[in-house]
Structure formats: structure tokens, C-alpha cells
Chain A
Amino acid sequence: MSLFRTELRRLSKRRFTRYMTLLGLLVLAAVVVGVFFTNQKIDAGQLARAERQADQQYQEQVRWSEQERVACEQAKTAGTATDGRYPDDCSVITPPPREEIKAEWFLPSTFDFKETFDETLIPFAAILALVGFVIGASFVGAEWSTGGMMNLLLWRPKRLTVLLTKLAALLTGILAVTLPAAVLWFAGFWAVANFRGSTEKMTSGVWQSFMLTGVRGVVLVLVLTTIGFALASLGRHTAMALGGVVAVMVVGQFGLGILLSMASVRFAEAWLLPTYALAWMTKTVTLQDWNSCNATYYGECKPATMDITWQQSSVLLSVGVVVILGAALWAMRRRDIS
């Protein structure tokens, strides 16, 4: 217990921890403020005007497609060359259905809490996961590279206990930042919705779903923190963890992405890690294969799809944590410390 408290104290004393946390929180605050100023409350007048504009647009489309169809039929009966300007069957030239033209298109953006709040949890989790990763990596990495770990082991020779206690202190610290930040995030966007949008139609089911997304976000933060910690401990240097991740992201992911798209592999995103992080947050990510797209005349396309679910992501995350943390613990037990 004394070791746990000491490690928590060490974590909070570190300037890197403080600055990174502050930076992360400032970015989060900037997001809330940005959303606040780019959204507006919509009154009934604006809504009616938008509906009228959508109607007008629809009428235009109807007129235009009517003209085109007539022109097409005339060209057909006259037998003039059309250079593929018109389809073989002129009757496919129809206006889009009325509901395809939405009133929102003619409205300034507004923040509907029910519709958009869970999307905001994605950047929330992403930013804090990044912060957690670098803090975790630097917390143990700096200990290794400055000899602090060796000093500590002279006092506490049980190596696994030391490493796991450090991890527990780190996760506690990250949680102590993430949970209040999440509460403020909910409150902040509730306020944004209140002043710059609407908080209507919130049912307990919606709340529950938001809470669950929030919990998944917190789990993602903790998982990435653990991975950063384990990688830095494995490499015994902060730079190792950060370098490793940059290498994986840039070389691995971008390279892989380019390679897969060159080989025109179907659903190339299924091979990329961020897809799974996204699926973890949104429950499903639907990948689309645009090569198998059957376009309708006015550009609508129905591609083949593939779903990546949060269950698949959870398997990937657990395997990742178990393998990387396991390797770090094994190395801690076995390797000489000098």
C-alpha cells in the first residue's frame, strides 16, 4: 500500500504528467468551445424557411428532370446521335424522391444532443487515450532510463509487484483525470445543446446508451495507457514506446493501407487498427466496397458492405493488452538490470 501511494505521488509530481494532462484537457475544452460557437439554435421561422427552400429545390429538380426526359425522348424519335448523353430508356430520368432533399441542408448547423452527443465521445476517448499512452510510456520509461527503477528495486526486490503497483498507480491516476473529465464533457455538451441546439427527446434508453459509450471510451483510455506503459517497460525507454507506435502507425498502417488499396483488396480498412478503435466506440463500423457499386442515375450507390462490431474490437484489444503486458512482465522477471 505504501508503494502504491508512493507511486501515485511520483506520478503526480512529474512535470510531464502535469503538462500532458493540462494539454489534453485544454484540447478537450477547445473542442467544446468550438462546437459551441459553430452551432446555432434553430427557431420555428428558420425551420419554415428551410422547408420552403427544400421545397423549391425539389420543384427545380422535378422541372429539370422533366425537361431532360422530354429532350431525351425527342432525341430518340429524331434519331440524332446523343453521344451517350441520354440513357437508352428515357423513363429512368426521374427526379429524386422528396425526402432525399432535407430541410437541414438549408439550416445552419445545430447541436442536437440526442443525435450527436455520442459522436463527440470519440474525440474525447481518442485525446485522453493519447494522453494516457504518452504519460504511461514516460512514467515507466523515464524510470528505466534514469536508473530510478534500479534504485527502487534495491528497496523492493519483488519485481513483478513493483511493476504491477506502478501500473495500478498509473491507471488510478489516469482514471482520476478521465472520470471528472467525462462528467464535464457530458455537462459541457448538455450546455452546448441547451444554448446552441436542442436537448429534446432524451429517453432513459438514450441516456443509457450514452453512458455505455462513455464507459467504452474510458476503457479505451485505460487500455492504451496500459499498452504505452507495457511497451516502454519492455523497451526500457520512453522513446522506445513512442518510436514503436509511430513506426507501427506510419509504416505499418499507412504502408499497409497503400499496399492493400494497390492490390485492391476488398474492405482494406478491416486491416487497420483505427477501424477497430472506432468500432469499439460506435458499436459497429460498416465498411463499404465502392468497386461493387451499382449506381442509379442520380448518383446513388449501393455498395457491398462488411460490419466490424465492438465484440470483434474487444477481442483485439484484450489480445493486444494480454500479449504486450505479458511480455513486459515476463521481461521484468527474467532480464538483468544494469
Chain B
Amino acid sequence: MPAVLEIEGLRKTYKSRRRGTRNALDGFDMRVDAGQVHGFLGPNGSGKTTTLRTLLGLIRPDGGRMALLGHEVPDALPTVAGQVGAIVESPQFFPHFTARDTLSLLAGAGEVPAVRVDEVLELVGLRDRSGERVKTYSLGMKQRLAVASALLKNPKLLILDEPANGLDPGGIREMRTLMRTLAESGMTVVLSSHILGEIQLICDSVTIISLGRRVAFGPVDEVLAQHSSGAVRIRLEAVSDLPVATEALTQAGIRVTGHPDHLMLAGVDKPASVTRLLAEKNLYVSELAPIAVDLESVFLELTATAPVPGQHRQVDESMKVGGTGQPGPAGGGWGA
């Protein structure tokens, strides 16, 4: 499949006279294939918006190369801009115009036929409110308008930066359906989001970013498989055998958490080894279930942003790949 979006070694450094330099993007790579719904995940301040802005020519990178629809950007942006619909960060519009005026001005500037305005208004559910001023819209309605403006071009590539922001549950579900429909019609969709359950439901593949670098990428199930933590739940025929089993497993180097009627094991490579170990002690397993991980826990593990009781995690305290390779908070703040 041809790549619709390619980024290699992208760098962006913000310089501040008082606080030194900050590498918002630090050799970031990304690839999105045609026809996919691609999730772009990362903690706050990890560089998602910076990536999308750079890609769209709004900010100037300090290094790396990017291509959209097979054209090198930013040089070829005038050629591809008509095929890339995007919303970046929170939607912003001139507050005193109506939704219809806003869209019709964009359509005028982009030489899109005026009928398309009504189509997209219908699509995002703003048909009946399109004559009202954007100032009076709720956050979710502005978000819908932003999606409408991105769809106006009927793009080949749709880039949405946190489109679920401010949407109601029904709206999120509609957005999900809309995105699937668009992808089925051949559009490639890239969306950044924090609602990981959502991403897991609608995305074919993901890229996870932390402190300006890619920490994981690929199809969702592969990422999940690679990063399943080896958690296994076991039950024994006799509940009274649980303490003995705990001792045996702990001796074999497996982390065990006891529960009244079962044990949770962590760090198990091959579940079969557990069965063998217990059988040797005449303990018989009645149930052995590898626990499926979800994207959220993988995300928390990969970016090292899982909450720790009693600590207030600061932004930028997340996984830094490259350096030492150790999970845990790494320096990356102002300074350096």
C-alpha cells in the first residue's frame, strides 16, 4: 500500500531566551498507509499538534523530511493542499460569522462548489443551526463545524487533531461511524485523540509519541500483542492450594498477586511453563487465562505516564526513547 503520509527524523526546536531550548520533536518518524484510519497518540505536550502543524506548513521544521500523498512538503504544499483536509488543535473561527458563511468563505477561497457546504453541514449534523453565529455555538458544535470545514474539500487525507474534544457521547459515536464510512469510501484518516477506547475501536493502526519521539507504531493488534505485559489469571481446583502455588511461582521468579479465589501472575512468557511448574507440585490448574491488554494500558506503559499514588505527575515526565531505554521519567523540560 502506498504511504499517504511519511515523516522521517522530524525535528522542531523552540528557543526561548529565558528558558533555553526545547525539542518539541526530536527525530520523529511516522507512516500512514492509504485507506487506513490511523490513531496518533501521545500524552499532553508530547508533540502531536506540533507534528501536524509542521506537516501542514504552519510551522517550519528544523530538520527531517515529510511527504503528503507522495509529494515532498512543505515545497509541494500548494499542490496537495486541496486534497488534505485538516483541523489543528481547538477549532477557531471568526465568532461573528454564521457557520454557513464561514464554510462558504472557505469554499470560495478553495474553489469548492457551493453545494458542498450544505452537504458537509448535513454530514456533521449542523444543518438546522447553520444560520447562527459561531459565537453562540457550544464547544462540541464548534468541533463539528471544524470537521465540516476539513471535509469541505472532499480530501484524500483527513487530519483531525483531537476531534472528540467537547463532543457528547452520541457525537463521539457519530464521529466514529462517520470516520469508518469515510475510510470505506477510500479516504485516509489520521486522528489524534486521548480517548483510547475510541481509538482502539476505530483505528486500523496507531503511532504512539512521547517527548517528540515515536515509541510504538503498527496495526493496533500487533502493538497490543507486542506490549501485552504477560498477565495471566489462574484458578486451581482447590482454593486451599493457592498459598502453596503462590510460594512455588514466586520462587520461579513470577510476580504473583493473591486474590480470594484466584491468582494474578505477571511477567509470564509461556503460560505452559506455569502449568508444568504447578503440576510438578501436584497442583492442578482449573483455569488459565492470559489477560488481554487494552490500548490504554499499553499506552500508559509505553509512555510511562501511569499514575502513581501520592505523586502528581508533571507534563513532560514521560517515556524518553533513545537515551537509556529505561522506562520512567526522563528529563526533557526547558534547559538542555
Instruction: For A151, list chain B residues within 8 Å (CB).
Output: 92-93, 106, 149
Closest A residue to B134 using CB positions: A146
A157 vs B56: C-alpha distance when bound (angstroms): 8
Closest A residue to B108 using CB positions: A6
Name the contact of B109 in the complex, choosing from A15, A147, A156, A337 (C-beta under 8 A). A156
User: Smallest distance from the beta carbon of B109 to chain A beta carbons, Å?
Assistant: 5
Name the contact of A156 in the complex, choosing from B58, B60, B74, B81 (C-beta under 8 A). B81
A-B contacts, 13 of them at CB < 8 A, read A2-B108, A10-B105, A13-B97, A13-B101, A14-B96, A143-B94, A150-B88, A155-B110, A156-B81, A157-B56, A334-B60, A336-B53, A336-B59
Interface size bucket, B side? 20 to 34
B94 and A148 contact, CB distance less than 8 A: yes
A153 in the interface, Cβ–Cβ < 8 Å?
yes
A98 in the interface, Cβ–Cβ < 8 Å?
no
Within 8 A of A (CB), among B97-113: 97, 101, 105-106, 108-111
B109 and A152 contact, CB distance less than 8 A: yes
B189 in the interface, Cβ–Cβ < 8 Å?
no
A13-B101, A148-B92, A155-B81 known; A338 vs B58 contact (CB < 8 Å) = yes
Instruction: For A146, list chain B residues within 8 Å (CB).
Output: 92-95
Closest A residue to B60 using CB positions: A336
Closest A residue to B98 using CB positions: A13
Instruction: For B92, list chain A residues within 8 Å (CB).
Output: 146-148, 150-151
Instruction: For B60, list chain A residues within 8 Å (CB).
Output: 334, 336
B77 in the interface, Cβ–Cβ < 8 Å?
yes
B149 and A338 contact, CB distance less than 8 A: no
User: Smallest distance from the beta carbon of A331 to chain B beta carbons, Å?
Assistant: 13
A13 vs B97: C-alpha distance when bound (angstroms): 8
B86 and A154 contact, CB distance less than 8 A: yes
A142 in the interface, Cβ–Cβ < 8 Å?
yes
Instruction: For B105, list chain A residues within 8 Å (CB).
Output: 6, 9-10, 13
User: Smallest distance from the beta carbon of A337 to chain B beta carbons, Å?
Assistant: 4
In the A-B complex, the 7 residue pairs with the smallest Cβ-Cβ separation, listed nearest first, are A147-B92, A6-B108, A336-B59, A157-B77, A155-B110, A337-B58, A6-B109
List the interface of chain A (C-beta within 8 A of B).
2-3, 5-7, 9-10, 13-15, 142-143, 146-148, 150-158, 334, 336-338
User: Smallest distance from the beta carbon of A165 to chain B beta carbons, Å?
Assistant: 9
B108 and A9 contact, CB distance less than 8 A: yes
A9 vs B114: C-alpha distance when bound (angstroms): 14
Q: CB-defined interface of B58-82 with A at 8 Å, one 1/0 digit per residue?
A: 1110000000000000100110011
Instruction: For A9, list chain B residues within 8 Å (CB).
Output: 105, 108
A154 vs B74: C-alpha distance when bound (angstroms): 12
Q: CB-defined interface of B201-233 with A at 8 Å, one 1/0 digit per residue?
A: 000000000000000000000000000000000
Instruction: For A153, list chain B residues within 8 Å (CB).
Output: 57-58
Instruction: For A337, list chain B residues within 8 Å (CB).
Output: 53, 58-59
Name the contact of A336 in the complex, choosing from B58, B77, B94 (C-beta under 8 A). B58
User: Smallest distance from the beta carbon of B222 to chain A beta carbons, Å?
Assistant: 32
Name the contact of A2 in the complex, choosing from B53, B101, B111 (C-beta under 8 A). B111
Closest B residue to A157 using CB positions: B77
Inter-chain pairs besides A154-B84, A336-B58, A338-B53, 17 sampled, C-beta below 8 Å = A9-B105, A13-B105, A14-B96, A143-B94, A146-B93, A150-B58, A150-B88, A150-B92, A151-B106, A153-B58, A154-B81, A154-B88, A155-B109, A155-B110, A157-B57, A157-B78, A334-B60
Instruction: For B58, list chain A residues within 8 Å (CB).
Output: 150, 153-154, 336-338
A148-B93, A154-B56, A156-B81 known; A5 vs B108 contact (CB < 8 Å) = yes
User: Smallest distance from the beta carbon of A13 to chain B beta carbons, Å?
Assistant: 6
Closest B residue to A6 using CB positions: B108
Instruction: For A154, list chain B residues within 8 Å (CB).
Output: 56, 58, 81, 84, 86, 88
A142 vs B57: C-alpha distance when bound (angstroms): 21
